[in-house]
Amino acid sequence: MEFNRKNVAAIIDHTLLKPEATEKDILKCCEEANKYGFASVCIHPCYVKSAGKALKGSSVKIATVVGFPLGANLSSIKAFEAAKAVEDGANELDMVINIGALKQGKVEYVENDIRIVVEAAKGAIVKVILETCYLTKEEKILACELCKKAGAHFVKTSTGFASAGALVEDVALMRKIAGQDMGVKAAGGIRTLESLIAMVEAGANRIGTSSGVRIIEQIEE
């Protein structure tokens, strides 16, 4: 991949998930995404409809979150969130895995928790956040395998709300397990062009960051 402005923008989910984000902030985020040609805006569910109006006719996708940021909601609640988000106009859903269930070895529960969201998404892209900083290597491998079995489209490193974000070694491991059948999204702490390049070279094909504009402006054209 050539790291020019167009190519880099096309793999960035322009993210605004701060608790204090207002509709005005979301509309600015949409405006920036349109201007730079980002892959998507990743925003709170309550702003999906507003983003849809702001991005009408644009190639920028609308991504939102499910079971965010802890992943501990009931599966039925996650399914409802997913279905409602898609009904409101979301094209992509970033859901959080049930971390506690995974760590307890509740394999069937975790797989079903993902599958029920995939089914509720009715064809929308589902990215599964593993929150890698809380997992052992074995748990990361298992989580990727379960995401694959459940029909998810991407595995994703982090929410950006935990004790650590994306690490190059985690992205490389996730790509190894995912193979070429799934996408790998790196998110959490990616604020420079240098760190974005490192993640892409490790195997990421989508980047979640709130620093998209800053990163693009680091690229000389």
Where in the sequence numbering do the catalytic residues fall?
94, 156, 185
Q: List, in sequence order, every beta strand (DSSP E) within 23-172.
A: 40-43, 61-66, 92-96, 125-129, 154-156
Q: List, in sequence order, every beta strand (DSSP E) within 55-205.
A: 61-66, 92-96, 125-129, 154-156, 183-187
Report whether 93 contacts 121 (CB < 8 A): yes
Q: Quote the CA–CA distance of 184 and 204 in Å, as a whole number.
A: 5
Q: Quote the CA–CA distance of 115 and 48 in Å, as a whole number.
A: 23
Q: Which residues face 187 on adjacent strands?
A: 208
